[in-house]
Protein backbone atom coordinates (compact mmCIF):
# COMPACT_ATOMS: atom_id res chain seq x y z
CA UNK A 1 0.00 0.00 0.00
CA UNK A 2 1.26 3.44 -0.86
CA UNK A 3 -1.03 6.44 -0.61
CA UNK A 4 1.55 9.07 -1.46
CA UNK A 5 2.10 10.76 -4.80
CA UNK A 6 5.26 9.94 -6.67
CA UNK A 7 7.86 12.54 -7.59
CA UNK A 8 6.52 13.35 -11.04
CA UNK A 9 2.98 13.67 -9.70
CA UNK A 10 4.25 16.03 -7.03
CA UNK A 11 5.94 18.13 -9.69
CA UNK A 12 2.73 18.19 -11.70
CA UNK A 13 0.82 19.40 -8.65
CA UNK A 14 3.39 22.07 -7.87
CA UNK A 15 3.44 23.32 -11.45
CA UNK A 16 -0.31 23.68 -11.77
CA UNK A 17 -0.74 25.09 -8.26
CA UNK A 18 1.77 27.79 -9.03
CA UNK A 19 0.16 28.65 -12.35
CA UNK A 20 -3.35 28.74 -10.89
CA UNK A 21 -2.35 30.81 -7.93
CA UNK A 22 -0.95 33.40 -10.28
CA UNK A 23 -3.43 33.23 -13.16
CA UNK A 24 -6.67 32.27 -11.50
CA UNK A 25 -7.36 34.17 -8.28
CA UNK A 26 -11.07 34.49 -7.50
CA UNK A 27 -11.04 37.94 -9.13
CA UNK A 28 -10.28 36.18 -12.40
CA UNK A 29 -13.18 33.79 -11.81
CA UNK A 30 -15.49 36.72 -11.13
CA UNK A 31 -14.27 38.54 -14.23
CA UNK A 32 -15.41 35.60 -16.34
CA UNK A 33 -18.82 35.01 -14.81
CA UNK A 34 -20.42 36.61 -17.88
CA UNK A 35 -19.10 33.89 -20.22
CA UNK A 36 -18.05 31.00 -17.99
CA UNK A 37 -14.90 30.59 -20.02
CA UNK A 38 -11.47 32.20 -19.76
CA UNK A 39 -9.57 32.03 -22.99
CA UNK A 40 -6.39 33.38 -21.45
CA UNK A 41 -6.45 30.82 -18.64
CA UNK A 42 -7.09 28.01 -21.10
CA UNK A 43 -4.03 29.18 -23.03
CA UNK A 44 -2.02 28.75 -19.83
CA UNK A 45 -3.43 25.25 -19.39
CA UNK A 46 -2.40 24.39 -22.95
CA UNK A 47 1.04 25.82 -22.39
CA UNK A 48 1.46 23.25 -19.62
CA UNK A 49 0.10 20.55 -21.92
CA UNK A 50 -3.20 20.08 -20.10
CA UNK A 51 -5.19 19.71 -23.30
CA UNK A 52 -3.22 16.66 -24.46
CA UNK A 53 -2.04 15.17 -21.17
CA UNK A 54 -4.27 12.15 -21.36
CA UNK A 55 -3.97 11.45 -25.07
CA UNK A 56 -1.82 8.70 -26.54
CA UNK A 57 1.50 9.68 -28.06
CA UNK A 58 0.24 8.91 -31.54
CA UNK A 59 -2.32 11.67 -31.14
CA UNK A 60 0.28 14.13 -29.97
CA UNK A 61 -0.42 13.41 -26.32
CA UNK A 62 1.65 12.84 -23.19
CA UNK A 63 0.03 9.52 -22.26
CA UNK A 64 -0.38 10.51 -18.67
CA UNK A 65 -2.58 8.50 -16.35
CA UNK A 66 -6.08 9.29 -15.15
CA UNK A 67 -4.59 9.94 -11.73
CA UNK A 68 -2.41 12.67 -13.26
CA UNK A 69 -5.44 14.15 -14.99
CA UNK A 70 -7.33 13.90 -11.72
CA UNK A 71 -4.67 15.87 -9.87
CA UNK A 72 -5.04 18.70 -12.39
CA UNK A 73 -8.84 18.52 -12.15
CA UNK A 74 -8.58 18.73 -8.36
CA UNK A 75 -6.46 21.88 -8.50
CA UNK A 76 -8.81 23.34 -11.11
CA UNK A 77 -11.71 22.78 -8.73
CA UNK A 78 -9.88 24.51 -5.91
CA UNK A 79 -9.36 27.51 -8.19
CA UNK A 80 -12.84 27.31 -9.80
CA UNK A 81 -11.00 27.54 -13.11
CA UNK A 82 -13.43 28.51 -15.91
CA UNK A 83 -11.91 26.12 -18.46
CA UNK A 84 -13.20 22.99 -20.26
CA UNK A 85 -10.52 20.67 -18.89
CA UNK A 86 -12.97 17.83 -18.14
CA UNK A 87 -14.65 17.93 -21.52
CA UNK A 88 -11.48 18.26 -23.55
CA UNK A 89 -9.80 15.42 -21.67
CA UNK A 90 -12.80 13.12 -21.90
CA UNK A 91 -13.72 13.74 -25.53
CA UNK A 92 -10.09 13.60 -26.62
CA UNK A 93 -9.57 10.21 -25.03
CA UNK A 94 -12.82 8.93 -26.47
CA UNK A 95 -11.91 9.99 -29.98
CA UNK A 96 -8.39 8.62 -29.66
CA UNK A 97 -9.91 5.24 -28.94
CA UNK A 98 -12.75 4.98 -31.47
CA UNK A 99 -11.72 7.42 -34.19
CA UNK A 100 -8.01 8.24 -33.95
CA UNK A 101 -8.03 9.86 -37.40
CA UNK A 102 -10.92 12.19 -36.62
CA UNK A 103 -10.20 15.87 -37.26
CA UNK A 104 -11.81 16.92 -34.00
CA UNK A 105 -9.09 15.02 -32.15
CA UNK A 106 -6.45 17.03 -33.94
CA UNK A 107 -8.14 20.24 -32.88
CA UNK A 108 -8.29 19.18 -29.22
CA UNK A 109 -4.68 18.03 -29.26
CA UNK A 110 -3.81 21.39 -30.75
CA UNK A 111 -5.41 23.23 -27.86
CA UNK A 112 -8.71 24.31 -29.43
CA UNK A 113 -11.56 23.45 -27.06
CA UNK A 114 -13.85 22.69 -29.98
CA UNK A 115 -15.68 19.62 -28.73
CA UNK A 116 -17.83 18.71 -25.76
CA UNK A 117 -19.91 15.75 -24.68
CA UNK A 118 -23.55 14.95 -24.02
CA UNK A 119 -23.36 12.88 -20.85
CA UNK A 120 -25.80 9.99 -20.82
CA UNK A 121 -28.41 10.06 -18.06
CA UNK A 122 -29.74 6.58 -17.51
CA UNK A 123 -32.30 7.50 -14.88
CA UNK A 124 -34.29 9.98 -16.96
CA UNK A 125 -33.76 13.34 -15.37
CA UNK A 126 -36.77 15.53 -15.92
CA UNK A 127 -36.61 17.92 -18.83
CA UNK A 128 -33.38 16.76 -20.34
CA UNK A 129 -32.57 14.31 -23.03
CA UNK A 130 -29.43 13.18 -24.74
CA UNK A 131 -31.00 11.23 -27.53
CA UNK A 132 -31.15 12.32 -31.12
CA UNK A 133 -33.55 15.15 -31.74
CA UNK A 134 -33.57 16.00 -28.05
CA UNK A 135 -32.32 19.20 -26.59
CA UNK A 136 -29.53 18.82 -24.09
CA UNK A 137 -27.67 21.22 -21.86
CA UNK A 138 -24.04 20.90 -22.81
CA UNK A 139 -21.17 21.98 -20.55
CA UNK A 140 -18.99 24.42 -22.50
CA UNK A 141 -21.64 24.11 -25.20
CA UNK A 142 -21.17 27.82 -25.90
CA UNK A 143 -17.63 27.39 -27.20
CA UNK A 144 -17.79 23.88 -28.62
CA UNK A 145 -18.43 23.43 -32.30
CA UNK A 146 -19.04 19.70 -32.01
CA UNK A 147 -20.65 17.46 -29.41
CA UNK A 148 -20.17 13.73 -29.01
CA UNK A 149 -23.41 11.91 -28.15
CA UNK A 150 -24.89 8.45 -27.99
CA UNK A 151 -28.23 7.65 -29.54
CA UNK A 152 -29.28 4.07 -28.79
CA UNK A 153 -26.15 2.24 -29.81
CA UNK A 154 -24.87 4.83 -32.23
CA UNK A 155 -22.03 7.06 -31.18
CA UNK A 156 -21.87 10.19 -33.26
CA UNK A 157 -20.62 13.73 -33.45
CA UNK A 158 -23.22 16.44 -33.79
CA UNK A 159 -21.43 18.91 -36.03
CA UNK A 160 -21.97 22.46 -37.05
CA UNK A 161 -22.52 23.97 -33.64
CA UNK A 162 -23.60 27.30 -35.10
CA UNK A 163 -26.87 25.79 -36.28
CA UNK A 164 -27.43 23.62 -33.21
CA UNK A 165 -26.65 25.60 -30.10
CA UNK A 166 -28.66 28.21 -28.30
CA UNK A 167 -27.29 31.42 -26.91
CA UNK A 168 -25.55 30.98 -23.59
CA UNK A 169 -28.09 30.20 -20.88
CA UNK A 170 -27.29 31.65 -17.48
CA UNK A 171 -27.04 29.13 -14.68
CA UNK A 172 -26.28 28.95 -10.98
CA UNK A 173 -22.66 28.04 -11.65
CA UNK A 174 -22.05 30.82 -14.19
CA UNK A 175 -20.95 28.13 -16.61
CA UNK A 176 -20.63 28.18 -20.36
CA UNK A 177 -23.87 26.27 -20.89
CA UNK A 178 -25.90 26.15 -24.07
CA UNK A 179 -28.78 24.01 -25.23
CA UNK A 180 -27.82 21.82 -28.13
CA UNK A 181 -30.11 20.21 -30.61
CA UNK A 182 -28.56 16.78 -31.02
CA UNK A 183 -30.57 15.71 -34.06
CA UNK A 184 -28.69 12.99 -35.90
CA UNK A 185 -30.48 13.35 -39.25
CA UNK A 186 -28.10 15.93 -40.65
CA UNK A 187 -24.66 17.30 -39.85
CA UNK A 188 -23.81 14.20 -37.88
CA UNK A 189 -20.72 12.03 -38.20
CA UNK A 190 -21.04 8.48 -36.95
CA UNK A 191 -18.05 7.30 -34.93
CA UNK A 192 -19.08 3.80 -33.95
CA UNK A 193 -22.12 1.62 -33.50
CA UNK A 194 -23.23 -1.41 -31.56
CA UNK A 195 -21.47 -2.65 -28.42
CA UNK A 196 -18.32 -0.73 -29.23
CA UNK A 197 -20.25 2.55 -29.30
CA UNK A 198 -22.05 1.86 -26.04
CA UNK A 199 -18.85 0.78 -24.32
CA UNK A 200 -16.98 3.84 -25.55
CA UNK A 201 -19.61 6.21 -24.17
CA UNK A 202 -19.78 4.32 -20.89
CA UNK A 203 -16.07 4.69 -20.59
CA UNK A 204 -16.11 8.41 -21.45
CA UNK A 205 -18.94 8.98 -18.98
CA UNK A 206 -16.98 7.18 -16.26
CA UNK A 207 -13.86 9.22 -16.99
CA UNK A 208 -15.76 12.51 -16.97
CA UNK A 209 -17.34 11.60 -13.66
CA UNK A 210 -14.06 10.52 -12.19
CA UNK A 211 -12.41 13.81 -13.13
CA UNK A 212 -15.48 15.72 -11.96
CA UNK A 213 -15.13 13.84 -8.65
CA UNK A 214 -11.60 15.20 -8.33
CA UNK A 215 -12.81 18.66 -9.32
CA UNK A 216 -15.64 18.65 -6.80
CA UNK A 217 -13.25 17.49 -4.10
CA UNK A 218 -11.10 20.48 -4.97
CA UNK A 219 -14.07 22.83 -4.61
CA UNK A 220 -14.77 21.30 -1.21
CA UNK A 221 -11.15 21.56 -0.07
CA UNK A 222 -10.91 25.23 -0.90
CA UNK A 223 -14.33 26.00 0.57
CA UNK A 224 -13.25 24.32 3.80
CA UNK A 225 -10.07 26.38 3.93
CA UNK A 226 -12.07 29.57 3.42
CA UNK A 227 -14.56 28.52 6.08
CA UNK A 228 -11.99 27.54 8.68
CA UNK A 229 -9.89 30.66 8.05
CA UNK A 230 -12.97 32.74 8.68
CA UNK A 231 -13.80 30.74 11.81
CA UNK A 232 -10.36 31.52 13.23
CA UNK A 233 -10.59 35.24 12.47
CA UNK A 234 -14.17 36.26 13.11
CA UNK A 235 -14.68 37.35 16.70
CA UNK A 236 -18.08 37.26 18.40
CA UNK A 237 -18.76 37.33 22.12
CA UNK A 238 -15.07 38.19 22.48
CA UNK A 239 -13.71 34.92 21.04
CA UNK A 240 -13.06 33.43 17.58
CA UNK A 241 -16.24 31.69 16.43
CA UNK A 242 -14.17 28.58 15.61
CA UNK A 243 -14.13 27.95 19.34
CA UNK A 244 -17.87 27.28 19.30
CA UNK A 245 -18.57 23.61 18.68
CA UNK A 246 -21.62 24.51 16.63
CA UNK A 247 -19.17 26.05 14.16
CA UNK A 248 -16.18 23.74 14.63
CA UNK A 249 -17.89 20.35 14.47
CA UNK A 250 -19.64 20.74 11.11
CA UNK A 251 -16.35 21.96 9.63
CA UNK A 252 -14.54 18.96 11.12
CA UNK A 253 -17.18 16.65 9.67
CA UNK A 254 -16.53 18.21 6.25
CA UNK A 255 -12.79 17.70 6.64
CA UNK A 256 -13.46 14.01 7.24
CA UNK A 257 -15.77 13.63 4.26
CA UNK A 258 -13.30 15.49 2.05
CA UNK A 259 -10.48 13.13 2.94
CA UNK A 260 -12.81 10.30 1.98
CA UNK A 261 -13.68 11.98 -1.31
CA UNK A 262 -10.04 12.47 -2.20
CA UNK A 263 -9.13 8.89 -1.37
CA UNK A 264 -12.11 7.61 -3.31
CA UNK A 265 -11.26 9.58 -6.45
CA UNK A 266 -7.64 8.51 -6.21
CA UNK A 267 -8.62 4.90 -5.75
CA UNK A 268 -10.89 5.07 -8.79
CA UNK A 269 -8.12 6.56 -10.93
CA UNK A 270 -5.70 3.93 -9.70
CA UNK A 271 -8.22 1.19 -10.48
CA UNK A 272 -8.14 2.11 -14.18
CA UNK A 273 -5.17 -0.18 -14.64
CA UNK A 274 -4.84 -1.93 -11.26
CA UNK A 275 -8.41 -3.01 -10.52
CA UNK A 276 -10.31 -2.67 -13.81
CA UNK A 277 -13.38 -4.64 -12.69
CA UNK A 278 -14.19 -1.97 -10.14
CA UNK A 279 -13.13 1.03 -12.20
CA UNK A 280 -16.55 2.15 -13.44
CA UNK A 281 -18.24 1.67 -10.09
CA UNK A 282 -15.54 3.63 -8.32
CA UNK A 283 -15.81 6.48 -10.84
CA UNK A 284 -19.51 6.63 -10.18
CA UNK A 285 -18.89 6.62 -6.42
CA UNK A 286 -16.28 9.34 -6.77
CA UNK A 287 -18.75 11.56 -8.57
CA UNK A 288 -21.65 10.91 -6.20
CA UNK A 289 -19.56 11.39 -3.09
CA UNK A 290 -17.62 14.30 -4.55
CA UNK A 291 -20.97 15.97 -5.27
CA UNK A 292 -22.38 15.38 -1.82
CA UNK A 293 -19.18 16.48 -0.14
CA UNK A 294 -18.68 19.64 -2.18
CA UNK A 295 -22.28 20.76 -1.83
CA UNK A 296 -22.31 20.12 1.90
CA UNK A 297 -18.93 21.72 2.55
CA UNK A 298 -19.75 24.85 0.56
CA UNK A 299 -22.98 25.10 2.52
CA UNK A 300 -21.29 24.70 5.91
CA UNK A 301 -18.52 27.14 4.97
CA UNK A 302 -21.09 29.65 3.72
CA UNK A 303 -23.04 29.45 6.96
CA UNK A 304 -19.84 29.80 8.94
CA UNK A 305 -19.77 33.32 7.49
CA UNK A 306 -23.20 34.29 8.78
CA UNK A 307 -24.72 37.07 6.70
CA UNK A 308 -21.49 37.84 4.90
CA UNK A 309 -21.51 34.42 3.29
CA UNK A 310 -24.67 35.42 1.50
CA UNK A 311 -23.23 38.61 0.07
CA UNK A 312 -21.69 38.51 -3.39
CA UNK A 313 -18.65 40.31 -2.04
CA UNK A 314 -17.42 37.21 -0.22
CA UNK A 315 -15.93 34.37 -2.24
CA UNK A 316 -17.67 31.47 -0.57
CA UNK A 317 -20.83 31.93 -2.63
CA UNK A 318 -18.79 31.27 -5.78
CA UNK A 319 -18.03 27.81 -4.41
CA UNK A 320 -21.56 27.20 -3.17
CA UNK A 321 -22.95 27.83 -6.64
CA UNK A 322 -20.36 25.93 -8.62
CA UNK A 323 -20.44 22.82 -6.44
CA UNK A 324 -24.16 22.56 -7.15
CA UNK A 325 -23.77 23.25 -10.85
CA UNK A 326 -21.04 20.74 -11.59
CA UNK A 327 -22.98 18.03 -9.81
CA UNK A 328 -26.30 18.80 -11.46
CA UNK A 329 -24.94 19.04 -14.98
CA UNK A 330 -24.42 15.27 -14.88
CA UNK A 331 -27.69 14.57 -13.10
CA UNK A 332 -26.75 15.06 -9.46
CA UNK A 333 -25.92 12.70 -6.61
CA UNK A 334 -29.31 11.03 -6.18
CA UNK A 335 -29.25 9.96 -9.78
CA UNK A 336 -25.66 8.83 -9.55
CA UNK A 337 -26.23 6.71 -6.45
CA UNK A 338 -28.60 4.57 -8.47
CA UNK A 339 -25.85 4.00 -10.99
CA UNK A 340 -23.53 3.07 -8.14
CA UNK A 341 -26.03 0.45 -6.99
CA UNK A 342 -26.39 -0.99 -10.48
CA UNK A 343 -22.65 -1.19 -11.04
CA UNK A 344 -22.04 -2.63 -7.60
CA UNK A 345 -24.79 -5.23 -7.33
CA UNK A 346 -26.25 -5.88 -10.73
CA UNK A 347 -23.68 -5.16 -13.40
CA UNK A 348 -25.23 -7.46 -15.98
CA UNK A 349 -28.87 -7.14 -14.98
CA UNK A 350 -29.04 -10.81 -14.03
CA UNK A 351 -29.14 -10.20 -10.31
CA UNK A 352 -26.49 -12.91 -9.98
CA UNK A 353 -23.20 -11.01 -10.32
CA UNK A 354 -21.01 -10.90 -7.21
CA UNK A 355 -21.03 -7.50 -5.54
CA UNK A 356 -18.00 -5.33 -6.16
CA UNK A 357 -17.49 -4.28 -2.56
CA UNK A 358 -14.39 -5.19 -0.69
CA UNK A 359 -11.68 -3.82 -2.92
CA UNK A 360 -8.62 -5.29 -4.54
CA UNK A 361 -6.02 -7.15 -2.53
Partner 1 sequence: MDFRLGEKAEEVKQEIRTFLAENFSEEDRKEAAEDGGGHNWELYRKLAAAGWVSAGWPKEYGGGGRDPYEILTLYWELCKAGFPWIGLLNNGFIGHTLMVMGTDYHREHFVPKIASGEIAFALGYSEPGSGSDVAGARVTATQDGDDWLINGEKMWTTTAHTAQYIFMLTRTSTQDRPHRGLSIFLVPTDVEGVEINAIHTMGGERSNGVSLTDVRVPDANRVGEVDKGWSVVRFALGLEQAMGYADLQERFIQQAGAWSLEAGPDGQRPFDDARIKEQLGQTAVHAEVSRLLRHRSTWLAAEGKDLGGKGAMTKSFSGTSYLDDAQSWMDLVGPAGLLKEDEDGALAGGNFDEAFRQTPVNTIYGGTVEILRSLVAEVDLGLPKSR
Q: Is 359 in the site for partner 1 (CB under 8 A)?
A: yes
Q: What is the DSSP string of 99-117?
A: -TT-HHHHHHHTT---EEE
Q: Is 312 in the site for partner 1 (CB under 8 A)?
A: no
266-297 core/surface letters (b: 16 or more CB in 10 A; e: else):
bbbbbbbeebeebbbbbbbbbbbbbbbbbbbb
By CB under 8 A, the residues from 112 to 131 that bind partner 1 are: 123
Q: Is 7 in the site for partner 1 (CB under 8 A)?
A: no
Q: Is 25 in the site for partner 1 (CB under 8 A)?
A: no
By CB under 8 A, the residues from 40 to 69 that bind partner 1 are: 67
Nearer to partner 1 among residue 111 and residue 240 (C-beta): 240
Region at 314 (left for phi over 0; alpha for psi -120 to 50; beta for the rest): beta
Nearer to partner 1 among residue 4 and residue 186 (C-beta): 4
Stretch that binds partner 1, among 25-33, 39-47, 205-213, 274-282 (CB under 8 A): 274-282
Collect all residues with Cβ–Cβ distance below 8 Å to 254 and sequence separation of at least 6. Answer: 220, 224, 227, 293, 296, 297, 300, 301
How far, in Å, CA of 244 to CA of 356, rounded? Answer: 41
Q: Is 337 in the site for partner 1 (CB under 8 A)?
A: yes
Number of residues located near partner 1, criterion CB under 8 A: 59
Stretch that binds partner 1, among 24-32, 83-91, 162-170, 234-242 (CB under 8 A): 234-242
How far, in Å, CA of 122 to CA of 26, rounded? Answer: 35
Q: Are 185 and 154 in contact (CB under 8 A)?
A: no
Q: Is 276 in the site for partner 1 (CB under 8 A)?
A: no
Stretch that binds partner 1, among 127-135, 143-151, 162-170, 258-266 (CB under 8 A): 258-266
By CB under 8 A, the residues from 203 to 232 that bind partner 1 are: 224, 228, 231-232
Q: What is the DSSP string of 195-233?
A: HHHHHHHHHHHHHHHHHHHHHHHHHHHHHHHHHHHHHHH
Stretch that binds partner 1, among 22-30, 44-52, 139-147, 340-348 (CB under 8 A): 340-348
How far, in Å, CA of 174 to CA of 83, rounded? Answer: 12
Q: Is 256 in the site for partner 1 (CB under 8 A)?
A: yes
Q: Which of 79, 211, 264, 326 binds partner 1 (CB under 8 A)?
A: 264
Q: Is 259 in the site for partner 1 (CB under 8 A)?
A: yes
SS3 148: strand
How far, in Å, CA of 157 to CA of 310, rounded? Answer: 41
Q: How far is CA 177 from CA 37, 146, 169, in A?
A: 10, 14, 6
Q: Is 3 in the site for partner 1 (CB under 8 A)?
A: yes
Q: Is 288 in the site for partner 1 (CB under 8 A)?
A: yes
Smallest distance from the beta carbon of 243 to partner 1, in angstroms? 4
Q: What is the DSSP string of 162-177?
A: HHHEEEE---TT----
Chain contacts with partner 1 (rule: CB under 8 A)? 1-6, 67, 123, 224, 228, 231-232, 239-240, 242-245, 248-249, 251-253, 255-257, 259-261, 263-264, 266-267, 270-271, 274-275, 282, 285, 288-289, 334, 336-342, 344-346, 351, 355, 357-361
Amino acid sequence: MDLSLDESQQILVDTFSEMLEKECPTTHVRDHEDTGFSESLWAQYCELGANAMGLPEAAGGLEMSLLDLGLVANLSGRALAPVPFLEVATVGRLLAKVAPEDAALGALAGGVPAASIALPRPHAVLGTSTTSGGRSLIPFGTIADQVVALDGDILYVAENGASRRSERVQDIGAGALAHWNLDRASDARILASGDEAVAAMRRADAEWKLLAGFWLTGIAQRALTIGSDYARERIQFGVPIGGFQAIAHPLAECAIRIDGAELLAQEAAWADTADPDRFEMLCSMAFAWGSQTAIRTADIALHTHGGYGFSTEYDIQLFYRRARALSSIAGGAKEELQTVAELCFDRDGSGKAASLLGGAQ
